[in-house]
Amino acid sequence: MDGEAATGRGDRAAENPKNQVQSVAKAFAVLHAFGSGGSELTVAEVARLAGLDRGTAFRLIHTLLGLGYLRPSADGRRFGLALKCLELGHAALSAHNLADHAAPLLRDLVPECADAGSLGMLEGGEVIYLARVDTGLDRHGVVRRPGTRIGAYATALGQSILAWLPRERQVEELERIPRVKLSERTLTGLDELLARLAVVRARGFALSDGENAYGLCTVAAPVLGVDGLPLAGVSLTIGGNRLPAAEFAAVAGPQAQALAAELSRAVRLSRGAIGLGAAPR
């Protein structure tokens, strides 16, 4: 069975109410109540926030107490999340590397928002592609399989990572490889590239319109590590006949930022357990 088809069928099955166990849904509603209502809640407060009757809330609270996911207050009248809850989140976050987490998020945006989506990292002045979801951009002669390398200076993906580095690191990375024109729109001068990176940082995402491949438009945003420095970048690309660059940027720029922010948050919550893994070769 095709992997994407299987994923789609799994999503549809999960959305079918007949396949859902309501008691499990109610238990998670109880756990979520603590995120919205405060660190410690009474049974009545949990019932109200979770949309449950008091008796159901009482039984679920005491079940979760017995399993170790809730803890009682000193007087036994209020309850809070126990540290065991962290096990679930940490297991989900750290079980895969960043590319594994990025791939399904990219699939959510391709082809609805873009013709291709990528995750890449910076190494030696080049972007290395770590994950790629593509719906036919190879017809433009563009192939960006995992492991593909391209000069960071000439890509939105590379510029989105460079823009969040300190100035001295930007210069260092830009000087690591020869900067050649990949199209008539490619910027190669150091000063003009540094000026571009300042614009990217101020705008919040990079935009490339035919700078490394004719007829393609790309937006990209950085994935930040625990230290606040760029760990990677994500990009969304369309063929130029799909939308004008300004319209695409208005729609896809915020999408790329939201995707990057979600991955950055996952890295932060995992305290760095989510890593890049070995770069494809």
What superfamily would CATH give domain 96-269? GAF domain (3.30.450.40)
CB 194 within 8 A of CB 167: yes
For residue 153, what pLDDT is reported?
Answer: 97
| DSSP class of 280 | P
What CA–CA distance (Å, rounded) separates 57 from 53?
A: 6
Query: pLDDT at position 94, please?
Result: 52
Phi-psi region of 30 (alpha: psi -120 to 50; beta: other; left: phi over 0): alpha
The per-residue pLDDT for 19 is: 72
Cβ-proximal residues to 146 (8 Å cutoff; 6+ apart), any chain: 99, 129, 130, 131, 132, 280
Which sequence spans correspond to the domains of the chain? Answer: 21-82, 96-269
CATH 1.10.10.10 at 21-82, yes or no: yes
User: Sign (positive/negative) of CA torsion 244, 248, 251, 254?
Assistant: negative
Alpha-carbon distance of 152 to 171, in angstroms, equals 12
Query: What are the structure tokens assigned to 261, written together?
Result: 């922010």
Tokens of 224: 């930040």
Radius of gyration of the chain measured on its C-alpha atoms: 23
Please tell me what DSSP assigns to residue 186: -
For tokens 């962290």, what's the residue? 86
Distance CA 226, CA 205 (A): 20
- Nearest Cα neighbor of 212 from 274, 154, 264 is 154
Total-model pTM: 0.70
pLDDT per residue as tens, the chain (281 positions): 444 444 444 445 545 566 778 888 898 898 888 875 557 899 999 999 999 999 999 999 999 999 988 999 888 889 988 877 766 655 555 555 888 889 999 999 999 999 999 999 999 999 999 999 998 776 666 778 889 999 999 999 999 999 999 999 999 999 999 999 999 999 999 999 999 999 999 999 999 999 988 889 999 999 999 899 999 999 999 987 888 999 999 999 999 999 999 999 888 877 777 777 666 66
